[in-house]
Amino acid sequence: MSWRTRANIAWLRGLSGVKEAEPLASRTSFGIGGPAEFFLELVRPEAIERSIEGACKRSIPYLLLGAGTNLLIADRGVEGLVIRVVNREHEIEGTRVRAGAGLKMMRLARIVADANLRGFEFAIGVPGTVGGAVYQNAGCWGKELREVLVEAEGWVPGVGTRKWKPSDLELGYRTSALRDGDLKGALVVSATVQLQRGDGEEAKQLMARLTRERNETQPIKTKNCGSVFKNPPGDSAGRLVQAGGLKGAREGAAAVSTQHGNFIVNEGGATAADVKRLIERVMVEVKRRFGIQLEPEVEMVGRWK
Ligand code: EPU
């Protein structure tokens, strides 16, 4: 039976601040995707938890959204409830920093440098939020969140508030129990990282240098979703795409970046279907040429059929 009963729709419409048929494209770094059937933007974890609990009780599908930097949302949008998590508070206690899931990693990188803390410079290359970084153990320049994470606070439907140690989260290369395991559907409320005392100016200089480097190698000023594929063990997806002659390949207004083979760029008006077709074409060609099965890092969500 469909969840779309009169009572459930009435419950959704009664949620404080809810919007119906809310466009999502502008809430993703790709600038692609259809609307959320119902959309909430919430700061307070308790309010987010109550909404998820209500949705679960009614079997209404829900999607938690951060900065939308690693998502490809279907052109037909997302059914049920989309909740954009925007709790952006942070607390610094000595060398430990607790940050709300809605805070951007890049912003946190600057905040901790201002507080003369070191060890978080890599986050200047991570476009998403703290919550998104926990969700997929985000990283850059060979460093990952799990190297500094000491605890994440979360909330599991039907279970309640949880304090997770990194080992509880099964963090791996661009994966976690939240993305691919038992904790699917759980909410990340905050993350606590352990940093070291140091010279904030040096941290800022390092971050400026890393950003310049990223600017030279990645199309960071375009609409994209970051790396499209995970790197296969011992190799690089970007290298394989280039070797397969696929740089510049296009479907509609979606094109493989000529700068970095593991990026797809929305050149203006690309549809999710364009991007999906291009992803599939690249996978088929890399498999045919090199026998390597690429695995998308970008997460495809919403109504594809
Ligand atoms: N390469 C090519 N052609 C290309 C692109 C890359 O030959 O078109 C080669 C490079 O010359 C290099 C190797 O492939 O020898 C690796 O490339 P790069 O240093 O650009 O890093 P990457 O493995 O493609 C990873 C992360 C990025 C992160 C960078 C920088 C993955 C999937 N990607 O990219 O993360 O910014 O390292 O540390 O692990 C993201 O996850 O969204 C992301 C952008």
Cα–Cα dist 117/98, whole Å:
13
Q: Kindly state if the Cβ of 143 falls inside 6 Å of ligand 1.
A: no
Q: Which whole-number Å values give the CA distances from 68 to 34, 216, 260, in the listed order?
A: 13, 23, 21
Ligand 1 atom closest to residue 241's alpha carbon, by position in its atom list:
8
Which residues, in sequence order, are CB contacts of 175 under 8 Å at separation 6+? Answer: 136, 137
Q: What is the pLDDT of residues 261-304, one digit of tens each?
A: 999 999 999 999 999 999 999 999 999 999 999 999 999 999 99
Closest CA relative to residue 24, chosen from 94, 61, 72, 62: 72
Closest CA relative to residue 301, chosen from 225, 238, 246: 225
pLDDT at 230: 98
Measure 140 CA to ligand 1 centroid, in angstroms: 9
Q: Kindly state if the Cβ of 226 falls inside 6 Å of ligand 1.
A: yes
Is 118 noted as a catalytic residue in this protein? Answer: no
Q: Are the beta carbons of 210 and 125 closer than 8 angstroms?
A: yes
> For the chain, how are helix, strand and coil distributed in percent, rounded to 5?
35, 30, 40
Interval 21-47 mean pLDDT? 97
Interval 219-233 mean pLDDT? 97
Is 53 noted as a catalytic residue in this protein? Answer: no
Interval 208-219 mean pLDDT? 97
pLDDT at 1: 74
Length of the chain: 305
Q: For residue 146, what pLDDT band results from cuts at 50, 70 and 90?
A: very high
Interval 138-155 mean pLDDT? 97
Would you say residue 59 has pLDDT above 90?
yes
